[in-house]
Structure formats: structure tokens, C-alpha cells
Amino acid sequence: MARYDHILDTIGNTPLVRLGRLAPESVNVYVKVESFNPMGSVKDRMARAIIEDAEASGALKPGQTVIEATSGNTGIGLAMVCAQKGYPLVVTMAENFSIERRKMLRFLGAKVVLTPASEKGSGMLRKAEELAEKHGYFLCRQFDNPANAQVHYETTVPEIIRDMDGDPIYAFVTGFGTGGTLNGVSRGMREHSPDTRIIAAEPDNAPVLASGIAQPRDEEGQPAGSHPNFKPHLMQGWAPDFISSLTEEASRSGGIDEIRGVPGDAAMETSRRLAREEGIFVGTSSGATLYAALEVARSAPEGSNIVCMLPDTGERYLSTPLFADIGEEMDEAEMALSRSTEGIRFDQNGGPAPVAAPQKVTLDEDARQFVADTVQCEPVVMFALEWCEFCWSARKLFAEMGVDYTSVDLDSVMYQEGERGNKIRAVLAEQTGSPTIPQIYVGGQHIGGCTELFDFQRDGGFGAELDRLGITSRPFDRDPYSLLPNWLHSRSS
């Protein structure tokens, strides 16, 4: 580790780690763990390369908006690069990719334009092209951009060669999405390690490359619709519904020695085994690639070294089938453990921690006046605590309905001096007969806490009262209790 001028200099130089348990004893399987990149995936390499290539060629002007169609990792890498360099970014993404990817992109300042799942990978590409043309954005074209392959030729290969330190590499195994990794690494390996077998893995239910059937293309060479062998599959980031030009080039130039199909359930199982037996936490396509690598290992000569790409982190898959069997609640074994000591037991000590009652403070005239003035003058008032999850839930309802409200945060710095917050709480407890927070007032009337507000909303009373007060609001048609955090929801019902 060193000192860096900026985050982009931390891209690459990912570790090559030998598997201790999953590989057959006679073979060394080394995994290249790309989750060590700053945004957790192999695509950080490409994101920087494409942007810097476009800067150098003049295709990307200072301040120009960047756009790309991406299943997530490319977008997340681009969002980091664009944030660091100061370019606005728009990402088009099919709606069926995991929610955490969308949220990460938006957190990094990008705009995400969803496309219908029915339009598949080529639909999001078309949308990015339309938007680029209409608004004059720089389109990255990761599926065709030579910079995407070149970065693997220039960084991934030299890293592997350096880290293998002269030991022969029997096989290199990778999947392909854009084909950038496959194209660049196979080209580099042919030069630096010509005996290495290049193995490309794809979903077994969508043998697009293995079929040998050419990708239909239009007169500009762009994919004209889906490949006839494409089927939706579980490996996000792998195998779009067309053969990209980078993949096709790798294949045509003899850069692939073997193609292996991987079943979706085997990919997920291998990813889980990597986590539990090797402590390596990666996504579905990594499990898929390793599954293919382990198959190769089984028939490899004794003492062979196999290098396998692991493209990204498992954290990107919490809402996908990879985590379908991972529960939120305690299972029977965990419950039994919980019951096995007496002190703290989940089945006995339940519910949210009680909010500590304010220290005894004498009722204070100023505080009383403040409460009276605030509930009289402000149409919607919430006496709240900054950290309180019931308060957050009430805030979510206000936000979703577009209701402006006054929040008196009794634990904020503003109310700490002279114990003002506690004095106000004492007045509220006296007036409402309840020591809990929040306490909510609408039109001068006391409504109650969070659940009373939710009940009021559910009965239609809240909307009617807002109308009466001339406050505009949006309808809210869901169950407001769904706004409570899950742990409060399940414990309070």
C-alpha cells in the first residue's frame, strides 16, 4: 500500500490468491480477486481506461455528460471515475438488475434511466444511443470500445505474469460480458504466456458462443436483435443477449481455446462455497467462472497452475437469487442458541429499546410557551429525536406525501443548552400523558406518536385534515406501517 493522489490510482493490482480447499490437491487454482478494486469490480479498470482514452482523443470534452448502458458494475466504476473527474453521468439499465446497483449509482451522483426487462441487454443499449444522440452525450460503448480490452492487455496480464513469478500458467479462465477481459487477456497471454489455455465460460442454458452461430448484425456492424441461442440466465454481467464485437474478435482471432457451459445453480453454489470454505466473498459470475476453472482443474496435469478471474464482490447481490436462502430472522438453531442462556433472550426481552425518560426536570414556563406557540403557529409539527426510528418512519410518510412539517429535534445541539430539549419533553409528557417520542400535532391538534399518525392516515383523517388546512399533499395508497424498519415492524405486530 502506498499514498495516492486520488482514488483512481488504486484501481488494479488486485491480488492473486491460491485456493486452499476448493481446488483438487494436485492443482493450484489462483483466483484474481477483482473486488479489491475501489468500487468492488473488474469494471473499474475499464471505466478509467475508456474515460481517459476519450479525454486523450478529444471525444470527451470537459464537463460533457457521459452515458452508458450497463448492468451495474460498469456504471458503478464510471460513476466513481466521473465523480472524481467532474463529469455528469447517465446510466441506462434494465429494470431486472439488482436494486443495490441502482442505489449505489445514484449515491455516487449518477442518473439511472431504467429500461423494460422485456427489451433485454440490447434495449438498454438502444436507449443509451437515443439519449446520447438527442442530448449530445459521450457514449462509452463498452461492448465495442477497444480501450475496454486494451486495459486488460496493459494491466491485468502484466499483473498476472508478475505475480506468477515465472511459474507456468496452464489455463486462464474467464467469463465474458462485454468481452473486454477475454479479449485483452487472451491477446496479452498469447504474447507473454503462449502455452496458457484460454477458457471462456458462458451460461449452459444460453450457449451463444459455443453454438458457433454468428451474431446477426446490421449494416453498421451493430447487433441486429438477440442471438438466436440467447436465454435469460442467472449470471448478471455475463453473456448479454448478443455477441459483442470484442468477444467476436477474441473468438475469430483464435484467442479462445475452449468454451465451457456453467449451470446457474452450480454458479451460485460455488459462490457460496467460496465464501464459506475460502472466506472469499464474491458474486454470481465469480462462482460461475470458478466452477468452470474447477472443472478444468479436474483434468489438468498434476502441479498445474490455473488462474481464474473473480469479477466482483458478493455485496452487489443481496437482493438476488444468490441470497435467496439467506434468512433475515433467526433460524431454529440460532433461536436455540439464543434460549441457551438466561440473561438476554430474544423471545423474552422484546421490542424496541425503551426511550429513556428525561431526567426529572421542573416544568418550565418557557418550554410550555414554546410548545404552545409552535403547535399554534405551525400546521404540522413533530417533536422528534434525531436517532429515533419511529421518527424516521413518520418522516418517510411526510416525505412521500410531500407534506412540509416542522421538526423539533429535542436531542439536537440546538436544544441541548440549558436542557431545553428535556424541558420541552417534560411539557409534552404532561400535556399528552405519554412519555414517548415522537409527538405529532396537526392543525394545533395532538395526533399522538408514529403509529397514531399511521392510523390517522389509514383512516383518511390525515388527508382530510391537511385539505381542511389548505395544505397540498400527494395521496399515499400503501400501508403506512410498511414504512417502519423491518425489525420494528415484525416486533411490534
Q: Is residue 238 part of the contact set for ligand PMP (CB under 6 A)?
A: yes
CA distance 3 to 270: 36
Q: In the complex, what is the shortest distance from the CB of residue 42 to ligand PMP, in angstroms, rounded to a whole number? A: 6
Contacts from 296-303 at CB under 8 Å and sequence distance 24+? 296/171, 296/173, 296/197, 296/199, 296/258, 296/260, 297/23, 297/24, 297/27, 297/29, 298/24, 300/27, 300/170, 300/171, 301/170, 302/26, 302/27, 303/26, 303/27, 303/28
Catalytic residue among 285, 286, 304, 407: 285
DSSP of 308-337: EEE-BBGGGGTTSGGGTT--SS--HHHHHH
Q: Is residue 121 part of the contact set for ligand PMP (CB under 6 A)?
A: no
43 is catalytic: yes
Indicate the residue among 198 and 381 with the shorter CB distance to ligand PMP: 198
Interface stretch with ligand PMP, choices 232-240, 297-305, 337-345, 385-393 (CB under 6 A): 232-240
The residue nearest ligand PMP at its CB is 237
Q: Of 179, 470, 491, 245, whose CA–CA distance to 353 is shortest?
A: 491
- Residue written as cell 404532561? 430
- Residue written as cell 470458478? 290
Q: Is residue 180 part of the contact set for ligand PMP (CB under 6 A)?
A: yes
Residue of 28, 35, 73, 251 interacting with ligand PMP (CB under 6 A): 73
Looking from the CA of 309 toward its CB, the CA atoms found within 13 Å total: 28
Residue 90, SS3? strand
304 is catalytic: no
Interface stretch with ligand PMP, choices 24-32, 41-49, 157-165, 363-371 (CB under 6 A): 41-49
Q: In the complex, what is the shortest distance from the CB of residue 296 to ligand PMP, in angstroms, rounded to a whole number? A: 18
Consecutive H or E run containing 212: none
Interface stretch with ligand PMP, choices 8-16, 37-45, 91-99, 157-165 (CB under 6 A): 37-45
Q: In the complex, what is the shortest distance from the CB of residue 47 to ligand PMP, in angstroms, rounded to a whole number? A: 11
Q: Are 228 and 214 in contact (CB under 8 A)?
A: no
Indicate the residue among 53 and 312 with the shorter CB distance to ligand PMP: 312
- Residue written as cell 385539505? 467
Interface stretch with ligand PMP, choices 91-99, 157-165, 234-242, 432-440 (CB under 6 A): 234-242
105: left (phi over 0), alpha (psi -120 to 50) or beta: alpha
Residue 311 preceded by cis peptide, ω within 30? no
Interface stretch with ligand PMP, choices 126-134, 196-204, 233-241, 483-491 (CB under 6 A): 233-241
Q: In the complex, what is the shortest distance from the CB of residue 70 to ligand PMP, in angstroms, rounded to a whole number? A: 7
Name the phi and psi angles at 26, rounded to 5: -85, -5
Indicate the residue among 175 and 203 with the shorter CB distance to ligand PMP: 175
Indicate the residue among 71 and 393 with the shorter CB distance to ligand PMP: 71
Catalytic residue among 32, 35, 43, 245: 43
Binding residues for ligand PMP restricted to 265-284, rule: CB under 6 A: 283
Residue of 28, 270, 285, 313 interacting with ligand PMP (CB under 6 A): 285
Indicate the residue among 145 and 457 with the shorter CB distance to ligand PMP: 145
Indicate the residue among 201 and 428 with the shorter CB distance to ligand PMP: 201
Binding residues for ligand PMP restricted to 289-318, rule: CB under 6 A: 311-312
Q: Is residue 237 part of the contact set for ligand PMP (CB under 6 A)?
A: yes
Interface stretch with ligand PMP, choices 171-179, 434-442, 453-461, 467-475 (CB under 6 A): 171-179
Consecutive H or E run containing 383: strand 380-384
Count interface residues toward ligand PMP (CB under 6 A). Answer: 20
Tell me how far CA of residue 209 lies from CA of 55, 112, 235, 272, in angstroms: 33, 30, 15, 27
Indicate the residue among 202 and 409 with the shorter CB distance to ligand PMP: 202
How far does CA 90 lie from the centroid of its chain? 16
Indicate the residue among 156 and 304 with the shorter CB distance to ligand PMP: 156
- Residue written as cell 478509467? 48
Indicate the residue among 271 and 439 with the shorter CB distance to ligand PMP: 271
Q: Is residue 177 part of the contact set for ligand PMP (CB under 6 A)?
A: yes
CA distance 29 to 77: 27
Residue of 28, 122, 156, 178 interacting with ligand PMP (CB under 6 A): 178
Q: In the complex, what is the shortest distance from the CB of residue 97 to ligand PMP, in angstroms, rounded to a whole number? A: 10
Consecutive H or E run containing 201: strand 197-203
Q: Is residue 181 part of the contact set for ligand PMP (CB under 6 A)?
A: yes
Kindly give, in sequence order, each residue whose CB lies less than 8 Å from that of residue 376, ignoring residues fewer than 6 positions away: 444
For 14, the grid coordinates are 488486485
Q: Is residue 43 part of the contact set for ligand PMP (CB under 6 A)?
A: yes
Catalytic amino acids?
A: 43, 285
Which residues of this protein are in contact with ligand PMP, per CB under 6 A? 41-43, 71, 73, 175-182, 236-238, 283, 285, 311-312
